[in-house]
Structure 1
Amino acid sequence: MKKTLFTVIAFILFTGCAFAQTDKGNSTLGINLQFYRATTNNNIFDQASGTMYTQDQKNTNFYIGPNFSTFLSNNLDLGVGLQYGLTKINNVGTAYYTQKQTNYNYGASIYLRKYVMYESKIGIRTGPYFTYNRNSSTVTNLSGGSGMETKTTGNSYTGGLNLDLLFYPTKKLGVALMLANLNYQHYNADSGVAGNSDGDGVNFNFINNGLGVSVFYTFGK
Structure 2
Amino acid sequence: MKTTLCTFFFFVSICLISYAQTSKGNFLLGGSFGIINEIDDTDLNNVLFSKEKQTFFHVRPSLGYFIANNLVIGLNPNYSSQKTILTGEQNYRSQIFKTFSISPFVRYYKKLNEKVSVFGQANIFSFERMNSEIISRVANVEDKTTSNRTSLSPGFTFSPGLVFFATNKLGIEVSLGLIRYSFTRAKTKGTSIQGNISEPIENTNTNRYAAFSLDPSRFSLGLQFYFSR
TM-score using structure 1 length: 0.69
What CA distance in whole angstroms lies between the structure 1 residues aligned with 2:212 and 2:84? 21
Q: Does 1:106 align with 2:105?
A: no
Q: Does 1:85 align with 2:92?
A: no
Q: Give the root-mean-square deviation of aligned CA atoms.
A: 3.5
Between 1:205-214 and 1:153-162, the stretch displaced more is: 205-214
CA offset digits 1:3-55 (Å, max 9, x no partner): xxxxxxxxxxxxxxxx93122222112233255678999989xxxxxxx9898
**Compared CA separation, residues 55 and 133, structure 1 to 2 (3 A):** farther
What CA distance in whole angstroms lies between the structure 1 residues aligned with 2:212 and 2:53? 21
**Gapped runs of 5+ residues in structure 2?**
1-18, 192-199
The equivalent residue for 2:160 is 163
State whether residues 147 and 201 of structure 2, in contact with CA within 8 Å, keep that contact through their aligned partners in structure 1.
no
What CA distance in whole angstroms lies between the structure 2 residues aligned with 1:190 and 1:201? 21
- Deviation, 1:85, is 1.2
TM-score using structure 2 length: 0.67
What CA distance in whole angstroms lies between the structure 2 residues aligned with 1:189 and 1:110? 24
The equivalent residue for 1:25 is 25
> SS in structure 2 opposite 1:125?
strand
State whether residues 30 and 68 of structure 1, in contact with CA within 8 Å, keep that contact through their aligned partners in structure 2.
yes
What CA distance in whole angstroms lies between the structure 2 residues aligned with 1:38 and 1:208? 20
**Compared CA separation, residues 59 and 200, structure 1 to 2 (3 A):** farther
What CA distance in whole angstroms lies between the structure 2 residues aligned with 1:139 and 1:197? 20
What CA distance in whole angstroms lies between the structure 2 residues aligned with 1:39 and 1:200? 33
Amino acid at match of 1:71: F
Identity %: 22
State whether residues 36 and 209 of structure 1, in contact with CA within 8 Å, keep that contact through their aligned partners in structure 2.
no
> SS in structure 1 opposite 2:25?
coil
The equivalent residue for 2:114 is 120
Q: Does 1:142 align with 2:137?
A: yes
State whether residues 24 and 70 of structure 2, in contact with CA within 8 Å, keep that contact through their aligned partners in structure 1.
yes
**Compared CA separation, residues 216 and 128, structure 1 to 2 (3 A):** same
CA offset digits 1:159-213 (Å, max 9, x no partner): 4222233222111111222312333352332233244353425255535446633
> SS in structure 2 opposite 1:103?
strand
The equivalent residue for 1:175 is 172
> SS in structure 2 opposite 1:21?
coil
- Deviation, 1:92, is 5.8
- Deviation, 1:103, is 0.8
Amino acid at match of 2:189: D
* Equivalent residue pairs, number: 195
Amino acid at match of 1:146: V
